[in-house]
């Protein structure tokens, strides 16, 4: 996927297909379920760390989320997490975490349509 397409896309079906080729449908479904359970918990942990003034913990969470989002093809979640992880993270971290929540919701909705057959003309 090109960078421009990745910037605009919510999810990457090819990433999910790679998981399925590697371990079958069951693995893809298990990893998807795990990601959808863990990602909100990681964002909540980052929010708690931010409230405690622990920017290092926020960045550590962002690193973990970036990696798992990449494996799951959650492109925009991955990009936002990468920004949070870096030294030039957004000034408004609370807003950035809300943006992560929003992108995770978009990815979840995208998953519901990712493997549907194309509509007939």
Q: Is 9 helix (H, G, I), strand (E, B) or coil?
A: coil
Q: CB–CB of 103/77 below 8 Å?
A: yes
Q: What is the pTM for the complete model shown? A: 0.86
Instruction: Count the helix, strand and coil residues of the chain and give each as a percent rounded to the nearest 5.
Output: 80, 0, 20
Model confidence pLDDT, tens digit, residues 39-66: 999 999 999 999 999 999 999 999 999 9
The closest alpha carbon to 99, from 84, 85, 114, belongs to: 84
pLDDT at 86 over 90: no
What domains are defined for the chain?
A: 9-108 (1.20.120.160)
pLDDT at 25 over 70: yes
Which residue has 């069951």 as its token pair? 26
pLDDT interval class at 31 (50, 70, 90)? very high
């Amino acid at each position: 996927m090109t960078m421009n397409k990745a910037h605009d896309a919510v999810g990457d079906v090819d990433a999910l297909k790679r998981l399925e080729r590697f371990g079958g449908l069951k693995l893809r479904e298990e990893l998807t379920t795990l990601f959808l359970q863990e990602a909100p918990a990681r964002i909540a942990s980052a929010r708690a760390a931010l409230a405690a003034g622990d920017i290092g913990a926020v960045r550590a969470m962002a690193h973990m989320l970036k990696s798992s989002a990449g494996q799951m093809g959650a492109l925009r979640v991955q990009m936002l997490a990468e920004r949070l992880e870096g030294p030039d993270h957004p000034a408004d971290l609370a807003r950035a975490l809300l943006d992560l929540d929003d992108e995770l919701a978009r990815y979840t909705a995208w998953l519901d349509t990712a493997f549907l057959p194309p509509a007939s003309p």
